[in-house]
Structure 1
Amino acid sequence: MRDQKERVETIESTMKNEFRHALAVNLITQEQHDNYLQELNELTSYIYEKYKDSLAFYDEDWIKINDYYEKIVGLDFVRDYTKEDLELIWLIEM
């Protein structure tokens, strides 16, 4: 099982790439892109700060991360293979 920080880093880079792609092909506006990045940065900053000395996640953090995942897979512009990758990265290992 991969450690939690590595999984969060993978999700972060995957989503940044997905947002960049959506912006490049005009599926989202610059403002939407910035808002999605801000939300992602808030979540990852929270996780990195809270777990900088520990790898053990608490239930409320799993809920917060899972809520973010659920929101992302519900977005129309997120490509199917990205959704599948996120599921493999995150949910199977939860």
Structure 2
Amino acid sequence: MRDQKERVETIESTMKNEFRHALAVNLITQEQHDKHLQELNELTAYIYEKYKDDPSFYPDDWDKINNYYEKIVGLDFVRQRTKDNLESIWLIEM
């Protein structure tokens, strides 16, 4: 099983690519892209800072991550394969 940091990095990279794709094919505006990217950056910055010295995730943090996941999979422009990949990276390994 991968460590938490590697999982978060994979999720971050996946979502940045998805946001770029959605912007490139005009599924979202630049403003929406920036908003989604900011939310992702806030979550990952929080996780990286909190866990830089301690690799253990706590229930409140899993809730925060899961809430973000639920929000992402509810977005119309996120492709199904991305949702499936996130589920295998995120939820199955939780």
TM-score (norm 2): 0.99
Instruction: Please name the residue that 2:57 is paired with.
Output: 57
SS in structure 1 of the partner of residue 78 of structure 2: coil
Any stretches of 5+ residues in structure 1 without a counterpart? none
The aligned counterpart of 1:19 is: 19
Q: Aligned equivalents of 2:60 and 2:82: distance in 1?
A: 25
Cα shift at 1:54: 1.1
Per-residue CA deviation, residues 24-74 of structure 1 (Å, 9 max, x unaligned), is: 000000000000000000000000000001110010000000000000000
Q: Which letter does structure 1 place at the counterpart of 2:73?
A: V
Does structure 1 residue 77 correspond to structure 2 residue 92?
no
Q: Which residue of 1 aligns with 2:36?
A: 36
Aligned Cα root-mean-square deviation (Å): 0.3
TM-score between both structures, scaled by the size of structure 1: 0.99
- Residue type of the alignment partner of 1:34: D
Q: Does 1:9 align with 2:9?
A: yes
Instruction: Give me the identity figure in percent.
Output: 84
